[in-house]
Structure 1
Amino acid sequence: MHKWLRYGMIFLCLVGFVFVRFRESALFYDPLIIFFKTDYQAQPLPEMETLKYLLNIALRFMIHMMLSLAILWLVFQEVGIVRFSLILYVAIFTVLLTVLTIMINNAGAESYRSLFYVRRFLIQPILIFILIPAFYYYRKANRP
């Protein structure tokens, strides 16, 4: 694949991340967006449809995962890296969505900060910013 075409496709994936971020309120059901923008420590969690919320979190995570896997393929062009990343994404998603569900069902003001960060990890493409340098370092360290 031509180098400039790869760069263009990486740019389009990044635009996808930006689009999801700036249209999040219109695209996804997330009553906690407004909640965490207020003085949330003194308030109970807002009423929400938990299943609908978790499905929207899952959809958003899957969109980020697909864009991230595309970027990893475009940057490294190694099936092993994409396969390992997919397994990692699925494992992290499973663990964090389970933790998020438990936290929502047992939410108290003392756990709001943890809820905020677990939710943040699920709705933001944070993992790609960890994986690219990690795989770059791995490649560099394992080249003769």
Structure 2
Amino acid sequence: MEERKNNRINRGLTVTVLVLMLFAVRAFEDKLFYDPFLSYFKNDYLGGPFPKYDGFSLFLGLGSRYWINTFLSVAIIYVLFKDRSLLYFTIGLYVFFFVLLIAAFFALLHFESKNAFLLFYTRRFLIQPLFLLLFVPAFYYQRRISKK
């Protein structure tokens, strides 16, 4: 009984540290990643043109931020569920969504220069750990249903 309690405490502390690391990525985003759209989307962006950007550097900045968030998110999911098959499934989802979102982002930049709103939300899924907020409840629900 005591060991189970300690295990829960350790899991809780580990998840807390990982979530704090996600917050740190957000807090230091302007220093860690190249993204001229950070300041662009903080202002009145619907009427103005897109900022000038270096496509390769932007890809690296968005990609590195996505994968750092992915690593931390997958670690949180693994700590919460301790299921290797779920871990591999989650990694597959993150890879799939990265390819889809990064292609959509650059296609919107290249072809849809008027649709800043869609670009904003596509970018948001690349730079924020939103999938974590979707996956944890879904996996918890799935686990609960499968135990019945």
TM range (shorter): over 0.9
DSSP 3-state at the match of 2:69: helix
The within-5 A match list for 1:37-76 is: 37-76=42-81
Residue type of the partner of 2:40? F
SS at match of 1:6: helix
Residue in 1 that maps onto 2:3: none
Kept in 2, the 8 Å contact 1:69–1:82? The answer is yes
- Does the residue aligned with 2:147 lie in a helix, a strand or coil? coil
**How many residues are matched?**
143
CA positional deviation for 1:6? 1.3
Q: Distance in 1 between matches of 2:65 and 2:43?
A: 23
For the 8 Å contact 1:45–1:107, the answer to whether it is kept is no
Unaligned stretches of 5+ in structure 2?
1-5
State the shift of 1:101 in Å: 1.1
Tell me which of 85, 88, 110 is aligned to 2:90.
85
> Is 1:68–1:125's contact at 8 Å kept on the other side of the alignment?
yes
Quick one: which of 111, 124, 128 aligns to 1:124? 128
Q: Distance in 1 between matches of 2:147 and 2:52?
A: 54
Q: Distance in 2 between matches of 1:35 and 1:107?
A: 17
Return the alpha-carbon distance in structure 2 between the equivalents of residues 84 and 17 of structure 1. 21
Distance 2:112 2:56 in 1: 16
1:27 corresponds, among 15, 22, 32, to: 32
List structure 1 segments (4+ residues) > 3 angstroms apart after TM superposition.
none
Aligned partner of 1:114 in structure 2 is 118
Amino acid corresponding to residue 125 of structure 2 in structure 1: F
CA deviations 1:41-91 (Å, max 9, x no partner) are 221111110110011100000001000110011000000111110000000
Counterpart residue type for residue 59 of structure 1: S
Q: What is the rounded CA distance, in whole Å, between the counterparts of 2:85 and 2:113 in structure 1?
A: 42
**TM-score, length-scaled by structure 2:** 0.93
> Using the alignment, how far apart are the partners of 2:113 and 2:62 within structure 1?
20
